[in-house]
Amino acid sequence: MFASALSFNQPHSDYSFFSGSYSQEWGAANDFCRLVEREGRTHHLATIDNNNPKTHPLLSLDDGQHDIYPHSKLIEHPQYFLSLHRQRIPMFGTLDASIDLIRTAKRVIVVSGAGISVSAGIPDFRSEGGLYSIVKSEHPTINDPTDLFDLETFKRDPSLFYSFAHRIWDPTVVRKPSFAHRFIKELETRDQLLRGYSQNIDLLEAAAGIGRTIQCHGSFSRCRCIGCGVYHPTDSYITKCVRERSVPYCPSCNNPLKPDIVFFGEDLTAEFDTTIDGDLATADLLIVMGSSLKVDPVASIVRDLPPHVPQILINREVVAAPHEFDLCLLSVMTLWSS
């Protein structure tokens, strides 16, 4: 947990450099920062008031040479100690260089978000006119539109979610994959796609025929009863409920059915944990498309990848600052229409 919290450049399950002197209960802050520099990251020490350490969330002790901090406190409050971010690699920062990277890479990770589906008629979440702004306009009493995907809110009142579910997945409308989906499929066809990590729940990856992809946040392909826990394929009854904005209920226990998508308060799909460490260790290119990178752990992929691996952002805006991509191709994703 210590290593993943600080997002070093090794896969977060293997931090051999930490198993030596830094596996002790205490570590020297200056030595630790030198270690961080050696691993290819920049660091910025927080200002510590040594005269009154109790005012700071990190316990400060002085051995006459170093400020010493217990690792337990560093785990709890890493943001007060140092910030780490990847720096851009200039040699990969031109369009020609990126085209060469895409042409020659053999193990590409693609992280995709709702932006790649906008041209298919599905709103994204956070942009102006996106799903969250629609929630605010139609339900002004809702303080936080992310409550739409809050597990406890769903358990209290599933009708809120189902009043908007058709905007994300409308079974009456045939959605065609966008150019971005077809681009990912082309990488797979050329055997260049190591893995796609999709944050989308609209099933357009499947419609595009992309097989080597992880639906990190699940999909509407099945539902799960919040009472008895039984899974049900998304059949004509469930699609009818979505279309009519009504709540489907379990035929066994009559509790609400929840789509098999990841709500706030739930873990990601097991597939993510199974593949991510190995993919981070072997990838030779990362492409991020149509994502705000606001939600972990998918957003942490860009930070956990070794910093020497090239990273390309194709998006409507720069995200994840102060993290630096090697090239940012900025445009409205609707230009990537079919």
Task: Please give the pLDDT value at position 33.
Answer: 52
The answer to whether the peptide bond before residue 307 is cis (omega within 30 degrees of 0) is no
End-to-end alpha-carbon separation of the chain, Å?
42
Task: Please give the pLDDT value at position 332.
Answer: 53
Half-sphere exposure of residue 219: CA atoms within 13 angstroms, side-chain side: 15
With a CB cutoff of 8 Å and minimum separation 6, the contacts of 304 are 4, 7, 8, 9, 11, 12, 280
189: which strand partners? Answer: none
Q: Which ranges in the chain are annotated with CATH 3.30.1600.10?
A: 124-174+218-261
| Helical (H) or strand (E) element with 26 | strand 26-28
Single out the residue of 28, 63, 59, 33 nearest to residue 45, CA to CA. Answer: 33
Q: How many CB atoms lie within 10 A of CB 277?
A: 15
Task: Please give the pLDDT value at position 255.
Answer: 97
- CB-based contact 324:87 (threshold 8 Å): yes
CA 214 to chain centre: 12
Angstrom distance (rounded) from CA 205 to CA 140: 33
- CB-based contact 302:311 (threshold 8 Å): yes
What is the CATH T-level fold of the domain 86-122+177-216+269-338, as seen in this structure?
A: Rossmann fold (3.40.50)
Angstrom distance (rounded) from CA 67 to CA 243: 61
- Write out the chain's pLDDT in tens, 338 residues: 233 233 333 333 333 333 333 333 334 454 555 555 444 444 444 343 444 443 333 333 333 443 434 444 444 444 434 446 889 999 999 999 999 999 999 999 999 998 898 888 877 777 777 777 777 777 777 778 788 888 998 999 999 899 888 887 877 777 899 999 999 999 999 999 999 999 998 889 999 999 999 999 998 889 999 999 999 999 999 999 999 999 999 999 999 999 999 998 788 888 999 999 999 999 999 999 999 998 889 999 999 999 999 999 999 889 988 899 999 998 754 444 43
Q: How many CB atoms lie within 10 A of CB 223?
A: 23
Angstrom distance (rounded) from CA 112 to CA 180: 9
User: Does 217 participate in catalysis according to the annotation?
Assistant: yes
Q: Which CATH class is domain 124-174+218-261?
A: alpha beta
With a CB cutoff of 8 Å and minimum separation 6, the contacts of 259 are 165, 169, 201, 218, 219, 220, 222, 223, 234
With a CB cutoff of 8 Å and minimum separation 6, the contacts of 190 are none
Q: Which ranges in the chain are annotated with CATH 3.40.50.1220?
A: 86-122+177-216+269-338
Q: DSSP secondary-structure letter at 263?
A: P
Catalytic residue among 12, 56, 181, 217: 217
